[in-house]
Chain A
Amino acid sequence: MSAIRFDPRTKLVLLFMCVLCTMFAPSLTYELFLVILAAVFGLLSGQYRYTFFGLIAYCLIFLATKLSIYHLTGIWQAIFIAFFGLVNKVYPCGFMAGIMIATTKTGEFMAALYKIHMPDSFVIPFAVMMRYLPVVKEDWNSITDAMKMRDVSPSLKGTIMHPVMTAECLYVPMMMAASNTADELSIASVTRGIENPNPRTCLTKINFSVKDVLAVCFILIYFIIGLLIRRGLL
């Protein structure tokens, strides 16, 4: 089965509905089915490995939650229930978000954001940020290498022995590099016509179709079922 491509806006709507569902979740079982729904969406989008491991991870969390409710007592029970309460509220959305990020390219995402009339002052920083996140990791690696050469250890021990020195050695090159990149990147994007006032074009076609409507309908129905159970009507 080949992967179905959903509209990026549909994915955003689904994610938002996921957040609403977890907000009004009536029971743990409801959350479990929400994760399963997200898994179905992941399979349809062709993310087999991610979906598989995500489901297994949630099953473990589900078991751990049940265990902590029924087999722990006293203060530990209280601490773990509060903690798993947070995990259970966050996990379905995080799972869904993972699928969204894995199946959407930044360009598609930008086109979708322009289509829902986001202003430039939001979309440009957003795109630059997505582009720069991997660079931060690269910079970090080369900076720690350089620090080792000059006998400043970025390890835990070094940080405790010389906190000011380590902090300065990390922050200064990191932020210098960032501000240089900011200059270069803005020159590069201006020469490529980012200041063009006309609407942006995109090679990938983005439009709603039957599958998008179906997906949104599914989650809406699920959300309404959740609300009904919560009110004790089902």
Chain B
Amino acid sequence: MRSQSYYNRKGLTVKDLVTTGIFTALFFVTMLVGGIVFAPNPVLTFYMPLGSALLGGPVLMLLIAKVPKRGPIAIVGILCGVIWFATGMHWAMDLGYIIGGIAGDLIAGSKNYKSKVFNVLAYICISLGATGTYICYFADKKAWSQYMLNGGTAKSYIDTMNSAAQNWMLAVILGGTILVAAFSAIIGLKLLKKQFEKAGITA
């Protein structure tokens, strides 16, 4: 059959693609639910990646277990990046998810999607995508708000900004995201073992 070979050549069947799509929807919702608490709050907005990373682990772990082939993790990352782009999020975050997804796929793929540690690492990679915006902010704090001040940046403002947003915050955001993502993915692996493997819905 011609159509069958057409899809087998790529390695992913229609079923795999549909599964990936559905789990991306779930994954996206978990990011939204986790991040929504942080994003609109001026004080907490910097810790948004931590919230987004908290809930998605089990979803991605089950997806890897269901479709252990090259591609799905990258597709999840790319789709999330595109959707965030289409909802108008900051470009660094969109790009972060795409890069994180592809990197995660390569990492998990290097052990054929069987190694638990590497799957957890893949989830951490994807979660780090959300930190793109903040890396951008810390890379050039002055440029971030300068356009709002109409060129003339007040000296007092720069001083307070340097004291309020110190560089250790970036370390906290990155480190915190890694920890939260690892926690979430490990919970996911536990759930997988306890519930889904028994039910026989993993591949």
Task: Tell me the B residues contacting A by CB distance below 8 Å.
Answer: 2-4, 6-7, 10, 12, 14-15, 17-26, 28-29, 42-43, 45-46, 58-59, 62, 66, 71, 75, 78-79, 82-83, 85-91, 133, 137, 144-145, 147-151, 156-157, 160-161, 163-165, 187, 191, 195-196, 199, 201
Contact = CB atoms under 8 A, between A and B. Distances in A.
A143 interface: no
10 closest cross-chain pairs (CB), A and B: A128-B21, A93-B88, A94-B88, A125-B21, A83-B42, A186-B15, A78-B164, A132-B25, A182-B19, A186-B18
A175 B145 CA distance: 42
A94 B82 CA distance: 13
Contact of B18 (A65, A100, A125): A125
Given A126-B82, A197-B2, A172 B195 contact: yes
Interface stretch (A147-155, A187-195, A200-208, A214-222): A187-195
B79 A195 contact: no
B87 A122 contact: no
B79 A125 contact: yes
B28 A74 contact: no
A128 B18 contact: yes
Given A85-B148, A121-B17, A125-B17, A90 B89 contact: yes
Given A65-B148, A82-B145, A172-B191, 10 more contacts: A19-B85, A28-B150, A77-B160, A124-B21, A125-B20, A126-B21, A127-B21, A132-B25, A171-B58, A179-B201
Nearest to B80: A129
A138 to B, nearest CB: 12
Nearest to A125: B21
Contacts of B133: 86
Nearest to A174: B26
Interface of A: 15, 18-19, 23, 25-28, 30, 65, 69, 73-75, 77-86, 88-98, 100-101, 120-122, 124-129, 131-133, 135-136, 167-168, 171-172, 174-176, 178-179, 181-183, 185-186, 189-190, 194-197
| Chain B, interface SS category | helix
Given A28-B147, A85-B144, A186-B14, A197 B22 contact: no
B142 to A, nearest CB: 11
B71 A121 contact: yes
A81 B62 contact: no
| Chain A, interface SS category | helix
Contacts of A127: 21
B164 A92 contact: no
23 contacts: A23-B91, A78-B165, A79-B164, A80-B42, A82-B144, A83-B42, A85-B144, A90-B90, A98-B88, A100-B86, A121-B10, A125-B21, A127-B21, A133-B29, A168-B191, A175-B59, A178-B23, A181-B22, A182-B15, A186-B18, A189-B18, A194-B14, A195-B3
A168 B192 CA distance: 11
A89 B92 CA distance: 11
A44 B184 CA distance: 45
Contact of A82 (B20, B75, B85, B137): B137
Nearest to A180: B201
Nearest to B1: A195
A75 B26 contact: no
Given A97-B88, A129-B21, A129-B28, A79 B6 contact: no
Contact of B148 (A75, A88, A172, A181): A88
B99 to A, nearest CB: 16
B27 to A, nearest CB: 9
Contacts of A90: 88-90
Given A121-B75, A176-B201, A179-B66, A96 B191 contact: no
B14 A124 contact: yes
Contacts of A89: 90
A168 B195 contact: yes
A91 B26 contact: no
A136 to B, nearest CB: 5
